[in-house]
Amino acid sequence: MIQPIDKTLMPSIQDKLDNLNKPKGSLGRLESLAMQISLIQHTVHPHLEHPCHILFGSDHGIEREGVSASPREVTWQQMINYGRGGGGVNVLCRQHGFSLRIVDVGVDYVLDSSTYAHIISRKIGYGTRNFRYEAAMSREEWKKALSVGAEQVEACFHEGCNVLSLGEMAIGNTSPSSILMHLFTTIPLERCVGAGSGLNEDGVRHKLRILQESLVRYDTIKREQDEEYTDVTDTIRHFAGYEMAAAIGAMLRAAELKMVILVDGFIMTACMLAASKMDSAIMDYAVFGHCGDEGGHKLMLEAMGAQPLLHLGLRLGEGTGAICAYPIVVSAVNLLNEMDNFSHAKITKYF
């Protein structure tokens, strides 16, 4: 169970911030970020160690309905590409010193460990089922995916990691993310649906129609199988992909371990939204890296009360936006720890 952050140190942290040799509050968002990380770690001397990035890969049954501009095979092709170091996520992990873990939880391709040693094999199935007609995954598969996410976080934690980012590779996963956004925020579905990997206007209209039909079918299934839909997790597993479920499991476990969680774009924000419906305390540990250009992301962030650090027009996924934001997190911690104070620097405190 996630423990809400202990706020007893807040006055001490605020006093430290206010006595740095600067105008009060002049570091803006960096000050609130430093406060959050200090509270997560329950110290006035926070530190960031061994940043890790976990990328989960999977495929979606709903992709068969033509809701993505990219074909299914791009999932496994990109997973292999990451192992060669050629992805955007690889470049940013190298630049910012992140350890990268690539995990197959449901890619529709044989990625055997002997051939692709860089990929951690935790395959639950060769893609989820098509939620236009049935639940994407069973309760057992849902639990397996959660446990995969938790397992990967624990491996990072035992390596000394206390700051984690998450990403995904899964063609079609803006569709379940849009539906979860709609269901958990009550924002109209048409405002939650965007172009994904590059749909044109006709493509977006088709995608919206498929998702609307899927929601009608979901309501029917819920009535017919009432005993199978008893809580929020049943809603999530009906639509989410294995990679999304693994990311949710990772987020929940990271918060239990009091790690800083860097949240990426539309997909990972939808996962954090879903995780917050399972345990609202998780939001204490979330740092939202950026606001992407996928339709609905800004609205979802606003509905969650989240303040992203960047807006760079990104919509790549993979966790790239979260990693790009990491230097800002480092700056917040370093300023708190290394900036001199009025007394020691012998500067008149003018407020």
- Residues involved in catalysis: 318
Query: Is the Cβ–Cβ distance between 118 and 83 less than 8 Å?
Result: yes
Spatial separation of the C-alpha atoms in residues 75 and 255, rounded to whole Å: 28
186 burial type by CB count under 10 A (0-12 exposed, 13-18 middle, 19+ buried): exposed
Query: Is the Cβ–Cβ distance between 136 and 61 less than 8 Å?
Result: yes
Amino acid at the residue 301: L
Which SS3 state, helix, strand or coil, does residue 48 take?
Answer: coil
Q: How far is CA 33 from CA 11, 92, 260, 287, 307, in A?
A: 15, 22, 11, 8, 10
DSSP assignment, residue 137? S
Which SS3 state, helix, strand or coil, does residue 308 take?
Answer: coil
Spatial separation of the C-alpha atoms in residues 259 and 243, rounded to whole Å: 20
Alpha carbon 126 to its chain centroid, in Å, reads 22
Spatial separation of the C-alpha atoms in residues 269 and 192, rounded to whole Å: 13
Exposed e or buried b per residue across 231-249, where buried means at least 16 C-beta atoms within 10 angstroms of its C-beta:
eebbbbbbbbbbbbbbbbb
H-helix or E-strand spanning residue 243: helix 242-256
What the block records as the tokens of 43 is 């110290």
What the block records as the tokens of 300 is 């979802």
